[in-house]
Every structure is written in C-alpha cells, then in structure tokens.
Amino acid sequence: MAKDKQSTPGRRAADHGRYGRLSRERVLASALELVDREGLSALSMRRLGAELGVEAMALYRYAEGKDALLDGLVEALYLELEERLAAEAEASAWRAELRRVAKATYEVCLTHPRVVPLLTTRMLAVPLARRPLAVLKDHERVLALLRDAGFDDDVAAVVFRAFNSWLIGYVSEELRPMVDNPEESDPAFRLGLHRMPPQELPRLREFAPALSEPRGPEGLAVGLDALIDRFTETR
C-alpha cells in the first residue's frame, strides 16, 4: 500500500518540468522559442522535452505528435496576433481596420520568421474546420469586415482569398534571403550578381538591388489598397 502512495507522486512528477507544471501554453511557448532560436528542423518531441526538462512522453498530453506541434506553432502566432490587435484601438472604417490587421500580422510574422513557412504548409495539410481556433477567429474577423463593407458573399469570398494571398505572399517575399555574402561591401558581390549569367538573366541582375530592399509595412499597405480598389471600383 505504501508503495502505491509513493508511485503516485512519481507519475505526477513527469508532468513537471524546469518551469513548473506543464500546460499547453507552456509547451507551445517553448516550441516557439526553440524554433525562433534554431529553426524548424530542431523541433522534435524529444528535443522539446529536453528544453522543458521532462521526458518526451510527457508532451503527448498536450500535442499528439510532430504535426500537432507544428499546428500549435501556427496557433501561437495567431494568438500573438490576437493579443497585439486587442492592445490597439480599432479603426473606425473597415478599410483602415483591414490595414491594421494586415500590419499586425506582418509584425508578428517578422518577429517569428522561422515559423512563417508553416502558414502555408500547414494550411495545405489541415482542413478548414480543423485549423486552430485562433486561425479561424482571424478568418472570421476579416470576413466580418468585408461584410461590413457591403460586399456580397461571392465577392467577399474572392476578396478574402486575395487579402490572405497578398499578405502571406508579401511577408514571404520580405523574408526571402537576398544577400549572398554579407561581408562584402560592394553591392554586386554582396548580392552575388557574379553568379548570375548576364546574357540569360539581364533583367534579374538589373533589378536585384531593388528587389533586395525590404518594403516594410508601407509596401504592404500600398498593395492592399490597390487590391481593395480593384473590387470597390466595380461596385
């Protein structure tokens, strides 16, 4: 009987790490910290368990496996987006509010650039209804703004897709590596233009310096306004 009493704390101890009792929030936060620091290739149940100071098996209560952890990283990004939006004042006009949502998403993505590829790859793998609630709430927010703008259902669906495509595509372009040798001071060698055959790629060599400059949230807003104008002008 005494032996049984002693075994119970042992089982509970498996659920405690170096940061105290585990929770889904703590597990996802640690996964995000690990990926921010070392990239997606470093993430595994065993490695995350080591980060938290527990056996890998203790994590399966909070994530069923590697895919669930990846979905959890997407969830963590959108939860951070919700927090950021809640801390700011809402815009009064629907177009300005769409800009605010896009800018906040851009800022969260640039804070966690190594997680951004999952916004595409996991959305290709996970059906709509199985996406994390934080992701679905973001979809709901954008669709509600488009409905408030007076778009009918068919047009709102098209604008919704265009909005998401522009936003994720823009962020991906901003994060693409462009510098070939950061120690070079000469712009051409810094970008590695000598590696591009001039006769086959004359325009790319010409535009490479401009393409390498991040456009920031201003460029995001310009493209978003152009996209919205395309649909509002036809109403």
Q: Give the CA distances from residue 77 to residues 82, 106, 149, in Å, rounded to whole numbers and listed in that order.
A: 9, 11, 27
Of the listed ranges 15-29, 51-65, 160-174, the least confidently predicted one is: 15-29
The pTM for the full model equals 0.86
Digit-coded pLDDT (tens) for 175-203? 999 999 999 999 999 999 999 999 999 99
Pull the structure tokens for residue 175. 């994060």
What domains, with CATH codes, occur in the chain?
15-63 (1.10.10.60), 81-232 (1.10.357.10)
Contacts of 164 (CB under 8 A, 6+ apart): 142
Look at the block and give the residue holding tokens 């997680």.
115
